[in-house]
Every structure is written in structure tokens, then in C-alpha cells.
Structure 1
Amino acid sequence: MGDRTDIWQGTLSLMVLKTLQSVGAQHGYGIARRIEQTSGDLLALNYGTLYPALVKLEQEGYVETEWGSSDNNRRAKFYRITRAGHRRIASETKSWQQTSEIMARFLALESAR
């Protein structure tokens, strides 16, 4: 495993929503582990950042919660994406794709030196 980096500002919400879209309802720890695994363990997820992000996504109506039992029979809050969350993924994905294309143009510039 190489050096791990922090999550870029503005990307965590999209990562959470995409995770929930692909694997279904998950508790916070499951979401965190899946994000880290998906990144090839290159991202270091700060759990103190994840839970406030989940609360914010719930307040904004992008996720819903339900109490249940985790794999080890502990009480856990499970998060599930809503229709509004699916719409947010679509708009955020378009925005990030455009940003990536713009940055690719700048990274492709050759030095004038």
C-alpha cells in the first residue's frame, strides 16, 4: 500500500452516494471501508468527517436512515440513497467529468521553457 491521502473537499458526498447506489444500504463503517477499498486503499477516510457528511446528506434528503443490526449483531444506523440522492449523483457526476476534462487540458500543456 502506498501513501494514503485525505479525501478531497467536495468529493466525499459523491463517494458516499455512489457507494450506496452500488452496494445498497450500509452502516457508516461499511461505507467507510467500501470507499477505502474502492480507492485501492489510497484514500484515508477520517471517520470524524464521514459521520457529519452522512448527517448532512440525510438533512438534505439525499439519504434515509433506518436502525438495524450489523454483521456482528450490534445496533447500527443504516443509510440508503433516496431518489433525490440519485439525481444528485447525476448532476455531480456531470460536474466532475467537466472539471476532469478541463484539468486534463491544463495538464497536457507543454512547458514554454
Structure 2
Amino acid sequence: MSSSSEELWPGDWNRASLGLCALQALKDGPSYGYAIITAFERAGLGTFKGGTLYPLLTRFETAGWVEVEWRAGESGPGRKYFSLTPAGVLELEQQRNQWLAFTQSTTAFLADDSNRGVSL
């Protein structure tokens, strides 16, 4: 998933959070793939390739979570812009709430020394 030889985070973590982060990147308005990838990098999430992001955005379009619009480029080729639909906004909110609850539980579990060495 990372285009560099060193991943900031384990690939499984990136795969698990990429969809949610892509929806979040579109929260404030339409954007295009390279800008979304740049936002991920600035946020410290790592470096992603378009070949990872674009299929995900296509699945979101099929699900009705994003709309696509082609815009002419100012000095180059046109760009494909993605924006959240009302269904996408609802999906973002649902996934964000689930993720926050999951990470809170995971963090609490990892911080609790009494969980170490527990056998079932």
C-alpha cells in the first residue's frame, strides 16, 4: 500500500482505515485523487498510490457514497473530482463513530496491564 520502502504503519492498519480516511478527506468538499493522497501524507498516514485509492473511490461511487465530476485542467489534463453524496455523509458519520468506539476499546485494552497473559 505504501509506495516507499518503509511503511509508517503496518499495511493491515492502512487497509483497515483507508476507506474511512478517504470519506473524511471529502468531508469539506470535492477533491481529486492526488490531493487526497497528499492530505493523507500531511496527516502522517503514509504514502499511498493512486492504484490503491482509485478502485476504492470507484466502489464508493457504485455504493452511492460519492459523485464524480470531470473538471478541465488549468494547465494540463482534466481531473476527476469526487464529492460526498448525502448517503456518503451518513456513511462517514456511521463509520467514524464505529472507528472511534473500536479504537477507544482497543486503546483501553492495550493500556490495561491486567490483560497481559490472559488465557481463555
TM-score by length of 2: 0.79
Name which structure has the greater RCO, CA cutoff 8 Å, separation 6+. Answer: 1
Structure 1 stretches lacking a partner, 5+ long? none
Q: Which runs of 4+ in 1 moved over 6 A?
A: none
Equivalent position of 2:92 in the other structure:
89
SS in 1 for 2:14: coil
Alignment of 1:1-113 (within 5 A): 4-5=8-9, 6=11, 8-22=14-28, 24-39=29-44, 42-70=45-73, 72-110=75-113
Question: Does the 8 A contact of 2:61 with 2:68 survive in 1?
Answer: yes
Name the larger-Rg structure: 2
TM-score by length of 1: 0.83
Query: Compared with structure 1, are the counterparts of its residues 82 and 37 closer, same or farther at alpha carbon in structure 2 (3 Å cutoff)?
Result: same
Residue 55 of structure 1 aligns with an amino acid whose one-letter code is T
Question: Does the 8 A contact of 1:27 with 1:70 survive in 2?
Answer: no
Q: CA deviation at 1:45?
A: 1.0
Question: Does the 8 A contact of 1:68 with 1:76 survive in 2?
Answer: yes
Count of aligned pairs between the two proteins? 109
Hey, which of these two has a bigger chunk of strand by percent? 1
**What CA distance in whole angstroms lies between the structure 1 residues aligned with 2:19 and 2:75?**
27
Question: Does the 8 A contact of 1:20 with 1:80 survive in 2?
Answer: yes
SS in 2 for 1:21: coil
Cα RMSD of the aligned pairs, angstroms, is 2.1
**What CA distance in whole angstroms lies between the structure 2 residues aligned with 1:20 and 1:71?**
21
Q: CA deviation at 1:32?
A: 1.1
